Structure 1
Amino acid sequence: MIPIPRTSPIALVRAAELTHSTRSIRRGEVVPVLRGVYAETGDWQSLPRWERDLARVHAHLLRDPDAVLCLESAALLWGLPTLGAIETVHVLADDTATSRRVSGIRVHTSAHSDRVIDEIGGIRLTSPAETCVDIARTRHPAAGLVLADATLRRDATMTAAALATLNEQRASARGRRHARWALERADAAAESPLESTSRAGIEWWGFPTPELQHWIGPWDDDGDRTDMWWPAIGLVGEADGHLKYDGRFGDPVAALRAREERDRRLRRRGARAVAHWAWDDLADPSALRDILLSAGLSPDRPPDLNRLAGLRRLLRPGLPSATPPP
């Protein structure tokens, strides 16, 4: 099946195509998405952050349809998640160009022969695997792990070993060692950006590595699949997020009751404890640690305080998902 790029979440129009453009801008009827490209104010204001990032990419493609997207901009078009605020459109140029950042566009210079460039729906962009390696080389390790896990989930033929090999075979050594942490740990069993980020936080706090997607109970509708499982102490870990319980997916009271019933069922079937956490607990410097300690889990190595501090800074802007969580 030919992949379909994610389209712009709102209608975009060039300034030259606006009727009475100066008047519309002065009255606040439209807002600039990028220089020379506008959207209706109400449409723009209704967008969550990750959809605004996607709209900016499409705004640039209106201005330069031959651009080669890379890094987070390519990930957005592939429908892959990212961490942290973006607000910049990333494009790839060959090594005869000059790296620069102008009006929300960041031009990266690299020989195209060193990248696999795909074309979907007339849009040129780095392949999912190339995008994954680029982000793993240049971004915080948690961002690299989120994208690496998602890349494996999306493509059953892709492996962590293949991503690691692509990283090692790049002509440039810049960022190679930095990327290894994320690429070597990539695992399709992590089902969401929150689970992937949790994996990073758990390791950096020095806790034992959990089993992912462990099944508890009979292999039918009466059983439960857990996000994480520590068999040595019978601990279930659930990366919940707040979206399940804020009302947008149904009655939040009913959702909480269903969670409580599921927790009781897990304990009846052998779990000693069930720990829950959300994005806020990963951004807080010690919340995840305290939750796991309270549930009876003990670290078996010193924490990586440097990476934990970087994770806190990365998550500070807000919900760190480029696409709506499931």
Structure 2
Amino acid sequence: MHSFGEEDSVIDRLGAGPFTAAQVRAAGFDKAAIRRALRRGSWVCLRRGVYVETSLLDDVAGCAERRHALDVAALRLVLGDATVAGGTSAARIFGLELLGEPPAEPVLLTDVAAVKGTHRNGYVLRSAALPEHHRATRHGVPVTSVARTVIDLARTRSFAESVAVADSALREGLVSVDQFRVVIRDCSTWSGVSQARRVVDFADPGAESVLESLSRVAIHVQSLPAPRTQVTLGDAGGPRCRVNFLWDDVRVVGEADGLGKYEPRGDRSVRDVLRAEKRREEWLADAGYEVVRWGWQDANDPPRLARRLRAAFARGAERQLGRQRRHAA
């Protein structure tokens, strides 16, 4: 047995990624070397009997996708190669935006018939059919495809959560509606597939954030007219601005404002951003648009948002009627 020296790297012997104590011993290192590497801080224990070099952990520290992929890779060393990341784990590895914080524990799927699903030891293992075209690889680990990931979540999560992740996948160009429909056909007898169909029918790549997705759901569940999304408005001088939501008939603009909208952008300071937003608002008012702004509080309270929008629709309709009367005079 070799002792683990400063000049040795387990990556040179085993390749980059997590490794088990058994693999380390098979590579010629003894138990004392493992203890020294952990004590010295060269290695970190990801889970019992599974380690990773600290340098690799540092490399992925700034990337949530790769960091979670590393946790999944470590778990697969324990559970076996017949497992793939699925559900919220696959969504995190693909970088899909989720409504709310995802569970910290990895979620893995397996199609081995003899394996029963379990939820223990800091992970979730589920048994499910995994045809080859439902699989992909991302950051070096097997995962369910983007389409399968979204449909699985749409079958099991709330409508709002499902729409948020479906919008995100479409917005990033990671999947198409046709790919969603292929997976739905494959899973047509599974529980929750009817909601998945509703989610796919409702999904819109024009929703540019989770807040906008949640707003769309709030508008829908309150039986309000569906707005157009990401509409560019202008005048004879050309395009002037783009709005999140537009109800053309009553000239009402909806703006779902997250705090990020007012953060500095490139060379533009917060003051520059606010000044530009003020000019934009003035142009919309001069052009006869009623503007309604809301944030997370309203989006999470659909009746409240509906009251504000209905009031704006009434004002917009009255304004339109007044303009028609003036033109007729």
TM-score, normalised via structure 1 length: 0.70
Deviations 1:116-172 (A, max 9, x none): 11124532111111111111111111121122222223338722x542353133154
Bigger share in helix: 2
Deviation at 1:68, TM superposition (A): 0.8
What letter matches 1:283 in structure 2?
A: N
User: What is the SS of the residue equivalent to 1:264?
Assistant: helix
**Whole-angstrom distance in 1 between the partners of 2:155 and 2:297:** 26
The partner residue of 1:113 within 120, 123, 131 is 131
**2:241 is aligned with 1:229:** no
| Two-structure CA RMSD over aligned residues (Å) | 3.7
8 Å contact kept, 2:243–2:254: yes
Per the alignment, residue 74 of structure 1 pairs with: 90
Deviation at 1:235, TM superposition (A): 0.5
User: What is the SS of the residue equivalent to 2:191?
Assistant: coil
What letter matches 2:150 in structure 1?
A: C
**2:186 is aligned with 1:169:** yes
Deviations 1:72-100 (A, max 9, x none): 21122222212222222111111321111
User: What is the SS of the residue equivalent to 1:88?
Assistant: coil
Name the stretch that deviates more: 169-178 or 149-158: 149-158
Deviation at 1:285, TM superposition (A): 5.7
8 Å contact kept, 2:87–2:153: yes
Deviations 1:201-227 (A, max 9, x none): 111122111011222104987421211
| Structure 1 residues 156 and 133: alpha-carbon distance in aligned structure 2, compared to 1, 3 A threshold | closer
Per the alignment, residue 302 of structure 1 pairs with: none
Per the alignment, residue 55 of structure 1 pairs with: 67
8 Å contact kept, 1:117–1:125: yes
User: What is the SS of the residue equivalent to 2:249?
Assistant: coil
Per the alignment, residue 76 of structure 2 pairs with: 64
| Structure 1 residues 200 and 265: alpha-carbon distance in aligned structure 2, compared to 1, 3 A threshold | same
- Larger CA Rg, structure 1 vs 2: 2
Flag structure 1 segments of 5+ consecutive residues without an equivalent: 1-11, 25-29, 299-326
Deviation at 1:54, TM superposition (A): 6.2
User: What is the SS of the residue equivalent to 1:106?
Assistant: strand
Deviations 1:248-299 (A, max 9, x none): 876334323322211111222342x11112223323464423432443369x
With CA pairs under 8 Å and 6+ residues apart, which has the higher RCO, 1 or 2? 1
Superposed, 1:1-326 pairs within 5 Å as: 21=38, 55-64=67-76, 66=81, 67-86=83-102, 87-94=104-111, 95-113=113-131, 116-155=134-173, 158-159=176-177, 161-170=178-187, 172-218=189-235, 222-245=239-262, 251-271=269-289, 273-284=290-301, 286-296=303-313
Query: Aligned pairs, how many?
Result: 276
**Whole-angstrom distance in 2 between the partners of 1:107 and 1:63:** 10
Flag structure 2 segments of 5+ consecutive residues without an equivalent: 1-16, 22-33, 316-329
